[in-house]
């Protein structure tokens, strides 16, 4: 890996992650995304889900690495602040999907 010299020891972790995903199967979240997205953009929404699921945690881990180099307290305080922001944001903007009112809506989706 030319952009990270000395990181050859990280490569053995790539295989087990892929194997773990394959052995566990997929969760219900991709099925829910496919069910709720419009017909003409199902593939794009699933691709976006995969991108977000893989890229954002990696970026967050790298950000945590840099914060950890400053100090442990900075890292934990930043995580706490983002947790509070997420909780308040969900409390203000989060909403549940409407419940189906009859059996036909449940069966037909």
Does some domain include residue 108?
no
Determine, yes or no, domain membership for 64: yes
How many separate domains does the chain show? 1
Q: Tell if the pTM clears 0.85, that is, is over it.
A: no
Residue 82's domain comprises 19-94
Residue 7 lies in a domain: no
Q: Does 2 reside within a domain?
A: no
Asked if pLDDT for residue 5 goes beyond 50, the answer is yes
Q: What is the pLDDT of residues 61-92, one digit of tens each?
A: 888 888 888 988 998 999 899 999 999 999 99
Q: Around Cβ 46, how many Cβ atoms within 10 Å?
A: 14
Give domain status of residue 40, yes or no: yes
**Residue range 7-55, pLDDT digits in tens:** 556 556 555 555 555 555 566 777 777 888 888 888 888 888 888 888 8
Residue 102 falls within a domain, yes or no? no
Is 26 contained in some domain? yes
Q: Identify whether the C-beta of residue 69 lies closer than 8 Å to the C-beta of residue 85.
A: no
């Amino acid at each position: 890996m030319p952009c990270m010299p000395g990181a050859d020891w990280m490569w053995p972790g790539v295989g087990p992650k892929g194997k773990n995903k394959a052995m566990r199967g997929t969760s219900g979240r991709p099925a829910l995304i496919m069910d709720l997205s419009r017909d003409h953009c199902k593939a794009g929404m699933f691709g976006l889900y995969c991108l977000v699921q893989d890229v954002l945690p990696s970026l967050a881990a790298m950000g945590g690495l840099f914060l950890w180099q400053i100090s442990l307290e900075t890292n934990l305080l930043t995580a706490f602040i983002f947790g509070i922001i997420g909780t308040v944001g969900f409390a203000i903007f989060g909403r549940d999907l409407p419940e189906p009112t009859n059996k036909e809506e449940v069966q037909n989706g």
